[in-house]
Amino acid sequence: MKVLLGISGASGATYGVRTLSCSLRAARTCTFWSRRPRGGSSPRRSGTARFPEAWTRGGRGSPASPPPPGRSGLYAEDDFGIPFASGSNAPDAMIVAPCSMGTLGRIAHGVSSSVLTRCADVALKERRPLVLVARETPLSVIHLENMLTLARAGAHILPACPGFYHRPETVSGLVDFVVSRALSCIGIDAGVLPRWGERKEE
């Protein structure tokens, strides 16, 4: 299963990093794509997230070193030559975690100004699952209307709103709740939290 992961918005980058980790743990092939902050700085320094050095090699416009089978690869935001930028090689699913309101708005209106927004456009037109983990509050009318537009187009709008019924004791527990829900939208059981009515195995 080819899962394309995009990160848009440094303040919630931990959601994207954890999504990648859980995807690989679930024995799925996950191709990872990260939006490089303006100015060419390394995404390893986005928010509190830390990206392995092997994923950040290569300049702007060049993909990172090819990952071994079953692992992840990093692509620059302006590399329109990556396979998933074409409907002829669309991913099986795409998750944008987190998804900034600017990115969400561009996806909603078909503005493919970066590889991330182009790949999201491909996912929608090819009817592949697209999950947008929106991380913004409060929401304006414009934000809400863009979300409604995308929901009508078939995207999953999944705000980063953790639940508390599993009684999380750490920030990681809150992050895992959001990540597990995002992955469940594309048919992956992250296996990090018990389902409602079930107990997590020791």
Domain boundaries, the chain: 3-184
Mean pLDDT, residues 152-168 taken together: 93
Q: CB under 8 Å to 72, separation ≥6 — which residues?
A: 5, 20, 24, 30, 31, 32, 55
- Which of the four pLDDT bands, split at 50, 70 and 90, describes residue 39? very low
Whose tokens are 């699952």? That residue is 129
Checking if the pLDDT of 36 tops 70, the result is no
CATH architecture of 3-184: 3-Layer(aba) Sandwich (3.40)
* 47/179: higher pLDDT: 179
Is pTM, for the whole model, over 0.75?
A: yes
The string of pLDDT tens digits covering residues 80-112 is 888 888 999 888 999 999 999 999 999 999 999
| % of residues, the chain, pLDDT over 90 | 44
Per residue in 141-153, pLDDT (tens digit) is 999 999 999 999 9
Choose the weakest-confidence range: 11-15, 68-72, 114-118, 133-137.
Answer: 68-72
Element (H, E) at 95: strand 93-99
